[in-house]
């Protein structure tokens, strides 16, 4: 039997009656002539429409003096079989129209709730550590760096580790998880990277877009993996500039097109009570529940409940402290930067402070523009924070291995997330925080009804629900 048209639609609601609307010349070609009665055959998973020689209560109307056929089906069977707002797959054949659930609706309905997760760009693994703290079990992790892949395997010995690029992982069979966490490569959007990758020290051309960076395409491959896995919840972490970039905006819209309710913020832990300052773009994509709502993933702003002193080692030797005599270069660097007025000098932190400046990737290398702790009693003496202290500032569990080398551990902390904050966001986003408020969120409108557009007059409230394709004749 010839297939004349395939497309998508949603079950609307008009004056409290479920509604499916179609128009086009192809309906006439299929045998649905104006004035013809329409017979319905209702099954558990689909509804079939056929022309009928006998009156049925449903009929084909017309536009343009009969040149265009119109079917405006308002039937309770649509609600009983599919539900209001359901995405339909519409197949128009010679002498028959078949309405069934669209495969994307089945994918959305089957998004798991099993406590499993997959990590991408896992690096040192702090984002996945936050998910574990929120109650999830990593099933697979994607990381291109062999050293980080080994470290991840030590921290998660039962997890499948894919030591490859995200674009290569797309073609590997991965489990469908409830949660995907991804710290998408931030170098293209980071203000910290002044040197072009792989150029031997040549400065980046700031006139070029971020996507011109050698890693600028990895966001696209990340989206392809997400579209394949169809997890119930997605948590992405990026540099602050990413979410407002063309790439970030398109990424969010594409997630909405897949049926996710998406919210995002540039958020720092110190804004919600933690002592550490580390602003990052955080994107949360959630599958709405049956009532169309999702739990709000965002912690409420609250006063700082931590102090720097809460995380300090108590057995630091006096030899760890330095002054202008023992490390003159640190103070010379600070003086030069102060003279330039660029803010890259020494940052002094005191035990009673409630905000800790950003700990950067190379902090444990003892660079001159890093936060240092002032001695509580000896004026002019300072020290850098230990690895143990920096991990505590970011709520990384003591049991989580950061590697043997101090510089590696420093890189993991400096590039990682605040585990406490991200764990809280993940718990709230996945419904594991019972006190989280609920938001009514719908995906963005991206198309119109299959076989034609719903007439603007008397349009029901949910006839405006989002669709996934534009198919049909222009009348």
Q: For residue range 141-153, what is the model confidence (pLDDT) as tens digits? A: 999 999 999 999 9
Within 8 A by CB and 6+ apart from 95, the residues are: 1, 30, 31, 50, 51
Predicted pLDDT of residue 439: 72
Predicted pLDDT of residue 345: 67
Predicted pLDDT of residue 291: 80
Least confident of 24-33, 186-195, 426-435: 186-195
Within 8 A by CB and 6+ apart from 84, the residues are: 11, 12, 13, 18, 462
CA 238, 239, 243, 247 torsion-angle sign: negative
Predicted pLDDT of residue 459: 33
Task: Give the count of beta carbons closer than 10 Å to the beta carbon of residue 451.
Answer: 26
User: Which contacts (CB < 8 Å, 24+ apart) does range 140-148 have?
Assistant: 140/174, 140/175, 140/177, 142/118, 142/166, 142/169, 142/225, 147/403, 147/408, 148/122, 148/123, 148/124
**327 or 195: whose pLDDT is higher?**
327
Write the pLDDT tens digit of every residue in 26-36.
999 999 999 99
* Res. 455: pLDDT tops 60: no
Contact 179, 113 (CB under 8 A): no
* Res. 57: pLDDT tops 60: yes
* Res. 87: pLDDT tops 70: yes
**Three-state DSSP state, 79:** helix
Predicted pLDDT of residue 290: 78
Tell me 31's DSSP state. Answer: T
Nearest partner of 69 among 114, 35, 112, judged by Cα? 35
In the structure, what pLDDT confidence band is assigned to residue 441 with cuts at 50, 70 and 90?
A: low
Tell me what the mean pLDDT of segment 130-146 comes to: 97
Predicted pLDDT of residue 367: 74
Tell me what the mean pLDDT of segment 2-24 comes to: 93
Structure tokens at 73: 């089906």
Predicted pLDDT of residue 451: 34
Predicted pLDDT of residue 344: 64
Contact 174, 118 (CB under 8 A): yes
pTM for the whole structure: 0.82
Domain with CATH 3.40.50.150 in the chain: 112-304+412-440
Write the pLDDT tens digit of every residue in 201-224.
566 677 788 888 888 899 999 999
- CATH topology classification for 112-304+412-440: Rossmann fold (3.40.50)
* Res. 457: pLDDT tops 50: no
Write the pLDDT tens digit of every residue in 99-126.
999 988 888 889 999 999 999 999 999 9
Predicted pLDDT of residue 200: 55
Predicted pLDDT of residue 262: 96
Predicted pLDDT of residue 147: 95
* Res. 425: pLDDT tops 80: yes
Q: What average pLDDT is seen over the chain?
A: 87
Tell me what the mean pLDDT of segment 363-387 comes to: 90
């Amino acid at each position: 039997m010839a297939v004349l048209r395939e497309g998508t639609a949603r079950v609307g609601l008009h004056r409290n009656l479920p509604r499916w609307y179609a128009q086009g010349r192809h309906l006439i070609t299929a045998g649905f002539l104006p004035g013809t009665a329409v017979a319905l055959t209702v099954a558990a998973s689909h509804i079939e429409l056929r022309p009928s020689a006998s009156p049925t209560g449903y009929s084909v109307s017309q536009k343009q003096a009969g040149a265009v056929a119109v079917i405006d089906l308002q039937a309770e069977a649509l609600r009983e079989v599919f539900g209001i707002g359901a995405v339909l797959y519409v197949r128009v054949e010679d002498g028959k129209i078949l309405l069934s659930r669209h495969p994307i609706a089945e994918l959305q309905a089957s998004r798991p709730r099993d406590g499993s997760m997959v990590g991408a760009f896992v690096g040192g693994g702090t984002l996945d550590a936050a998910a574990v703290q929120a109650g999830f079990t990593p099933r697979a992790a994607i990381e291109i760096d062999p050293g980080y892949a080994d470290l991840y395997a030590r921290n998660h010995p039962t997890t499948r580790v894919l030591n490859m690029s995200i674009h290569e992982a797309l073609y590997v069979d991965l489990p469908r998880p409830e949660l995907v966490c991804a710290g998408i490569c931030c170098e293209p959007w980071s203000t910290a990277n002044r040197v072009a990758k792989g150029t031997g020290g040549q400065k980046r051309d700031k006139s070029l877009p971020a996507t011109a960076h050698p890693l600028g395409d990895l966001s696209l491959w990340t989206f392809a993996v997400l579209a394949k896995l169809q997890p119930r919840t997605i948590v992405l972490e990026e540099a602050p500039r990413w979410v407002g970039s063309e790439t970030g905006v398109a990424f969010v819209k594409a997630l909405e097109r897949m049926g996710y309710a998406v919210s995002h913020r540039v958020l720092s832990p110190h804004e919600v009570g933690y002592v550490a300052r580390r602003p990052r773009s955080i994107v949360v994509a959630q599958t709405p529940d049956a009532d169309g709502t999702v739990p709000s993933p965002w912690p409420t702003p609250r006063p700082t409940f931590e102090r720097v002193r809460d995380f300090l080692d108590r057995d630091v030797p006096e030899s760890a402290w330095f002054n202008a005599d023992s490390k003159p270069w640190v103070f010379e660097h600070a003086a030069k930067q102060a003279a330039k007025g660029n803010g890259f000098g020494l940052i002094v932190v005191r035990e009673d402070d409630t905000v800790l400046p950003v700990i950067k990737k190379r902090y444990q290398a003892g660079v001159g523009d890093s936060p240092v702790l002032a001695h509580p009693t000896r004026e002019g003496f300072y020290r850098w924070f230990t690895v143990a202290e920096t991990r505590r500032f970011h709520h990384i569990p003591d049991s989580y291995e950061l590697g043997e080398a101090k510089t590696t551990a420093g890189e993991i902390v400096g590039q990682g997330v605040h585990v406490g904050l991200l764990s809280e966001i993940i718990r709230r986003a996945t419904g594991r925080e019972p006190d989280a408020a609920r938001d009514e969120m719908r995906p963005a409108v991206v198309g119109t009804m299959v076989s034609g557009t719903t007439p603007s007059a008397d349009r029901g409230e949910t006839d405006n629900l989002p669709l996934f394709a534009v198919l049909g004749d222009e009348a």
